[in-house]
Amino acid sequence: MLPFLGKDLEGLHRSLLLLVIKPDALDKCESPAALLQIDFSDKSIYLKLKDIHFGFSTEEELKNLQRQDKVSSTDVKAFEKEAAIMVISIVEKLSEKSPLNYCLVRTADAFDPVLMVSSKSLHL
């Protein structure tokens, strides 16, 4: 399973980052190592709060709660802001503790059978 771990972790990391970070900031990260080196203290890389989407179910449930007057629009905005902060915190922790930090995981994809067959530069 090691040959597939790097690609899977990179995909998971990218999909979480796409929730809160601008796509052009992610496009600059061409490798898994660069993906882990994103500077989260740079506020210019984050999406605006109105552009962050947490999924259809979450948005529908928030709308239903607003229609029933159980939450106000300020409560919804506070929830969205806290959820964005939570996702950022999760991604930061993942970046710190990710197996992608290890060279073995990043280079183990050379043993991926599909990559071995398709890449002519790997053939001896």
pLDDT of residue 61: 95
Arithmetic mean of pLDDT, 75-88 = 92
SS3 category, 21: strand
Q: Output helix, strand, coil percentages for the chain, rounded to the nearest 5.
A: 75, 0, 25
* Nearest residue to 22 (alpha-carbon basis) of 51, 54, 50: 51
* Nearest residue to 105 (alpha-carbon basis) of 12, 22, 42: 12
In the predicted structure, residue 68 carries a pLDDT above the cut 90: yes
CA separation for the pair 51, 41 (Å, rounded): 19
pLDDT of residue 56: 93
**How does residue 101 score in pLDDT terms, banded at 50, 70 and 90?**
confident
pLDDT of residue 108: 83
Percent of the chain residues past pLDDT 90, beyond the cut:
32
Q: What is the reported pTM?
A: 0.74
